[in-house]
Structure 1
Amino acid sequence: MAESLTPKQVAEHSTVETGLYIIIDNNIYQMDSFVEEHPGGAKILKRVGGKDASKQFWKYHNEGVLNKYAPKLKVGTVKEEAKL
């Protein structure tokens, strides 16, 4: 079930208890179930929870990593917030 969330809605999922969402290239990934498996440690994921982690992700990973885990962890995409 893919959702379309605003960056503000993603920010509400900034801890393991609230789902720990991160954004990579406008796609949203739910990391709470992966935190303990992450080879770089849980601390790194918790630090970027609820935020756009694209820059940090691409610094240490290649496209193969994203292709491997995206089917299991992707929950949606980022939509633009309405301008008033």
Structure 2
Amino acid sequence: MSDTFTTKQVAEHNTVENGLYIIIDGSVYKMDSFVDEHPGGAKILKRVGGKDASKQFWKYHNEGVLKKYTPKLKVGTVKEEAKL
């Protein structure tokens, strides 16, 4: 099941204890169970927890990495928010 989150809701999940969500290209990924497996180390994931990590992700990864882990880690998408 895929849920919809606001950026504020994602920001609340900014630690491993809170679920450690990150945003990549509008999709929300739950990373708490992956931090110890991450080849780049847990530190970088913890640094971007609760935030949009698209820029950092694409700097070091290709589309194949996203396709590989999406089924396991994606929990939803970011809801469009009204801009004032």
Residue-by-residue CA offset, 1:11-37 (whole Å, 9 max, x unaligned): 000000000000000000000000000
What is the TM-score of this pair, normalised by structure 1? 0.96
Q: Percent identity at matched positions? A: 83
Moved over 6 A (4+): none
Count of aligned residue pairs for this structure pair? 84
Flag structure 1 segments of 5+ consecutive residues without an equivalent: none
Farther off after superposition, 48-57 or 72-81: 72-81
Q: 1:30 and 2:30 equivalent?
A: yes
Structure 2 counterparts to residues 31-50 of structure 1, below 5 A? 31-50=31-50
Aligned AA for 2:22?
Answer: I
Q: 1:11 and 2:41 equivalent?
A: no
Residue-by-residue CA offset, 1:30-70 (whole Å, 9 max, x unaligned): 00000000000000000000000000000000000000000
**How many angstroms apart in 2 are the aligned matches of 1:63 and 1:32?**
21
CA positional deviation for 1:3: 0.7
CA positional deviation for 1:82: 4.5
